[in-house]
Structure 1
Amino acid sequence: MSQHSKRADNFIKDEARTDWHDKALWHVREKRDASAEQLPEWELLRETASQIKDNVLSNLDNYLVQFETEAKKNGVIVHWAEDAADHNRIIGEILEKHNARKIVKSKSMLTEECKLNDFLEERDIEIIDTDLGERIIQLRKEPPSHVVLPAIHIKKEEVGELFHQKLGTEKDNSDPTYLTKAARTHLRNKFFEADAAITGVNFGIAETGGVVICTNEGNADMGCHSAPVQIHCMGIEKLLPKAEHLGVFIRLLARSATGQPSTIYTSHYHQPRPGAEMHVVIVDNGRSTHLGKEDFRNSLKCIRCGACMNTCPIYRRSGGHSYHSTIPGPIGAILSPNKNLKEYSDLPFASTLCGSCSNVCPVKIDIHEQLYKWRQEIYKNNELPKSKTIPLKITTKVFENPSVYNSLGKIARGSLRNLPGFMIYNNFNAWGKQRDLPDAPKEGFKQWYKKNRNE
């Protein structure tokens, strides 16, 4: 239950990094706001996207069958994966069939979720993440800390030292342009040598059987255009009914993520190149179970823009790795408990419930309300530690008994006024570690009201 708080404590120890991380993400949030304000129809777009996704989730079985039918007509080979193990097995079999030993991959949170890299590396298959941020954290042997900005927690000086060690760049040169060019040179050969390319999917179009991938670096295109085998990994919730709906989401996605009008590359894949193969692996991995939970199904609308992370005061100050799940931040805190309530029972409590996450969500997921509902589920399923349940039970008894409540209030006010500081500010008072308690009034509200109610 304390995993998030302990990991957050480790992140916060570096105050300079914490402040920098906070400001960097808030800057992205400000860019999102500025971009959204340029569209008078912004709220209409959000509402439209939300309703389209409602339609998808309510008719998902039909849209999945339609997508498969149309994709097969185009010569695409479609696979169905029940869980992460199934997903990895299918990809392993495709690669084995083609004797593929060198793989390039564009950013995909689904393959991170399924731990595909570990699976392939255990089989001596080289898999290279070609998104710059993903490549940085792959070289550092870390998971991503953000769904759009996976290396947002790393400073450019650290990247410079990493590239010096791994890619042979100049020592102490942390110029972003220089480092980007070095990464581009390093990755170009990987693209040309690749036996297969793997990508995630931003949107699948049921009407056409095609998949759409949004990138800023063109790395998905480089992989798919150079390798003889292309594999697209798609969660079942990523579908849109028609191609005409795509325009709504394209206008929302990049603006919500980074403040851009759209991503630099919006790539459409409908069929394999002559002489090549195109595969789509459709993955459930707990999503259908999530779909059946009425209070939580809306979280499957998520388009992975990261806007909720950029605005969340907890995420910005605790770092993505404190969430110990593939998807961090507020959206991860409502997706992860569905997979394992016990393991992720701490995450719904990593929130102030301020509602900022729901306010910026481009598909209007009720994130903060779901966080609150997950807390109730955790309590009902006895997943709260005794350090929380015992104080809650004591507090309940106090609130149920007005005379006890009034007496304890009087004792507390007197103690705060008269006890020495070391008895108030100690290890039992977590709030007092970083702030002073307000001066205690001489009387409680009830006493004051009785005296003043006739005035």
Structure 2
Amino acid sequence: MTAQDQTSFKARAGAALADTTLKLAIDRTTGTAERKRAAALAGFPEFEAARARGAAIKDHVIANLDHYLETFERNATAAGAKVHWAATAEEACDIVVRLCREADAKHVTRSKSMLGEEIHLPDALATAGIERVETDLAEHIIQLAGEHPSHIIWPAMHRTREQVAVLFNADHKPPPDAEDPASMVQSARRVLREKFLSADVGISGANFLVADTGATCTVTNEGNAELTTTPPRVHIVTAGIEKLVPTTAHAFALLRLLVRSATGGELTQYTTFHCGPKRPGDADGPEEMHIVLVDNGRSRMIKDEFREMLRCIRCGACMNHCVVYRQIGGHAYGGTYPGPMGAVLTPVLDGLKQSRDLPFACTMNGRCAEVCPVRIPLPTLLRAWRVRSWEEGLEKAPMRAGLGLWATLARRPGLYRLASAIAVRTLRVLGRSGWIRSLPLAGGWTEHRDLPAPAGGTFMERYKAERAKGDSR
């Protein structure tokens, strides 16, 4: 867990629910994303077939990961890049810091990369005394605010336009000419342009790693990745090993899914393939290109029930449609990745004991699986973490006792029907005007909402009554 996340999930979620400005910011962004995605898919009748192909591509790569890793390393090296291997987040950070020091870098630019956030690269660079400048506009905003991303596509989606204006007026010299979006974007461009052109090293992530060419692919809407990777003398890529695809054609097949699911477009403004450093005769490009391939628990996932999570192409659709995320935002989840995909990945990265609340922060309505462009069965994976939590004895004593009592009743139909009848009648007594405002042992529910009182008897009692009516007719 990151330094911001020492409080419990319940406390973070409670604070988020009380933040009306946060709710406004979330609604603005996720609502727009949901509508644009729906419109994009309405004009893309091949979507279901494309989803099936996307899932098949990712499953094929995962099943043959060793082959494609070796192929990628061989072709990337032939193109002039240097490939480095990191088993853990710490190893990955050590490699990047060493490369920056070898380049005598005092100042580096970085384009948006969730892998970089996952391995805590910003903290490692700061500890090494290397100035880091985030070049994505949203990342620039949260760097000024001293925060972590709250969404994997829109890192600053928890910030309103009015809050951004305050940050820019305090930091930008000169401040923006006005507080409208166009003026603030122009102000950020002025501030960042000098940083782009003076950086010693540029650090990027990769949306895809193309095995048969050794190329890396970045997808952005602002062009900041190209300015991060091209002017500096050294370009460093950090990428998870699951980002591999066999060929450029496979990358484009997944791009058709990624962009529509993430932003509702057909293509982003900038889709760039980097294949090695600058060659003789090239007009521009880095003199050195380094690619750091990061495992950080991914190999372990291949062997267990969370293997399908490695299909993820980081589009953010699951969180845009998640009823929980849209109430509490990303920071409440406490890890690098928020929303449903984060609830699956964070226990892998941080351990189930530290993050066991996340798999339970789900209504299991299945909306995330419905919109996932590569058909990841997220509710099934979340249930798998719940099973592990039980098997590892992480549930609190009252929960285990309560489930034990329920299991005892469920195995004895007569006793279960008796207990149900008593419970229904008790709840009807506690109800007022059809609602129960406070209920012992269910404070987590009635603290924020009323519980509907039972309308009649138990299910079996009402079933028998309906059958009796039918027989009498």
Q: 1:397 aligns with which of 388, 408, 415?
A: 408
CA contact (8 A) 2:25 2:157 kept: no
Counterparts of 1:178 and 1:160, CA distance in 2: 10
CA distance in 2, matches of 1:426, 1:172: 56
The residue that corresponds to 2:310 in the other structure is: 300
Residue 313, structure 1, aligned to residue 323, structure 2: yes
3-state SS in 2 of match to 1:227: coil
- Identify which range, 166-175 or 191-200, moves more after superposition: 166-175
Q: Distance in 1 between matches of 2:144 and 2:24?
A: 25
Once the two structures are superposed, what CA deviation does each residue of 1:311-347 show, in whole Å capped at 9, x if it has no partner? 1111111110111111111111111222312112111
Which residue type is aligned with residue 285 of structure 1?
N
Q: Secondary structure at the match of 2:165?
A: helix
1:179 aligns with one of 184, 207, 210: 184
The Cα of 1:348 is off from its aligned counterpart by 1.0
Q: Are the aligned partners of 1:216 and 1:265 in contact in 2 as well (CA < 8 Å)?
A: yes
Give the letter aligned to residue 432 of structure 1: T
Provide the C-alpha distance between the structure 1 equivalents of 2:370 and 2:32, rounded to a whole number of angstroms.
17
Structure 2 match to 1:41 = 46
Query: Structure 2 matches for 1:1-400, cutoff 5 A?
Result: 3-168=8-173, 170=175, 173-274=178-279, 276-293=287-304, 295-339=305-349, 340-400=351-411
- Name the CA distance, whole Å, in 1 between partners of 2:211 and 2:431: 69
Q: What displacement does 1:3 show?
A: 2.8
Q: CA deviation at 1:406?
A: 3.0
State which of 422, 437, 445 in structure 2 corresponds to 1:411: 422
What is the distance in 1 between the residues matched to 2:197 and 2:62? 39
Cross-structure match for 2:446: 432
- Residues 437 and 451 in structure 2, CA contact (< 8 A), matched pair in contact too: no
State the AA in 1 paired with 2:252: G
- Over the aligned positions, Cα root-mean-square deviation in angstroms equals 2.1
Greater Cα shift, 418-427 or 25-34: 418-427
CA contact (8 A) 2:207 2:219 kept: yes
> What SS does the corresponding residue of 2:230 show, helix, strand or coil?
helix
* Alpha-carbon distance in structure 2 between the residues aligned to 1:116 and 1:220: 17
Q: Is the 8 A contact 1:195 1:229 kept in 2?
A: yes
Residues in 2 aligned to 1:142 and 1:115: alpha-carbon distance in whole angstroms: 13
Looking at structure 2, the residues matched to 327 and 377 of structure 1 have their Cα atoms a distance apart, in angstroms, of: 20
Does the 8 A contact of 2:177 with 2:183 survive in 1?
Answer: no
C-alpha displacement of 1:440: 3.1
Q: Which amino acid aligns with 1:362?
A: P
| Cα offset, 1:224, TM superposition | 1.6
Aligned mates of 1:412, 1:272 — CA distance in 2: 71
TM-score norm. by structure 2 comes to 0.91
SS of the equivalent of 2:355 reads coil
Q: Distance in 2 between matches of 1:451 and 1:423?
A: 26
Moved more, 108-117 or 417-426: 417-426
- Confirm or deny: 8 A CA contact 1:81 1:282 kept in the other structure: yes
385 and 403 in structure 1: CA distance in 2 versus 1, 3 angstrom threshold: same
Cα distance change, pair 396–230 in 1 and its aligned pair in 2 (3 A): same
Aligned residues with identical type, % of pairs: 39
Residue 450 to residue 43, structure 1, CA distance change in 2 (3 Å): closer
Secondary structure, in 3 states, of the residue corresponding to 2:353?
A: coil
Cα offset, 1:376, TM superposition: 1.0
Conserved in 2, the CA contact under 8 Å of 1:308 and 1:360?
yes
* Contact 1:426-1:433 at 8 Å conserved across structures: no
Q: Distance in 2 between matches of 1:427 and 1:13?
A: 24
Q: CA deviation at 1:387?
A: 4.0
- Partner Cα separation in structure 2 for residue 321 and residue 268 of structure 1: 32
Q: What's the offset of the Cα at 1:146?
A: 0.6
In the superposition, relative to structure 1, how do residues 273 and 394 fare at CA in structure 2: closer, same or farther (>3 Å)?
Answer: same
* Offset of residue 417 of structure 1: 3.4
Displacement of 1:414 in angstroms is: 3.0
Task: Provide Cα deviations, 1:111-158, integer angstroms capped at 9, x if missing partner.
Answer: 111111111111211011110111111111111011001011111111
What secondary structure sits across from 2:452 in the alignment? coil
Shifted more, 332-341 versus 227-236: the winner is 332-341
Consecutive unaligned residues of structure 2, counting only runs of 5 or more, are 1-5, 280-285
- 2:436, 2:451 within 8 Å by CA — same for their partners in 1? no
Tell me the distance in 2 between the aligned counterparts of 1:361 and 1:423: 37
Match of 2:239, SS state, is: strand
Compute the TM-score of the two structures, normalised by the length of structure 1.
0.95
Shift in alpha-carbon separation, 1:65–1:408, aligned structure 2, 3 A: same
How many aligned residue pairs are there? 454
Do 2:436 and 2:453's aligned partners in 1 also have CA atoms closer than 8 Å? no
Q: CA–CA distance in 1 between the matches of 2:28 and 2:418? A: 45
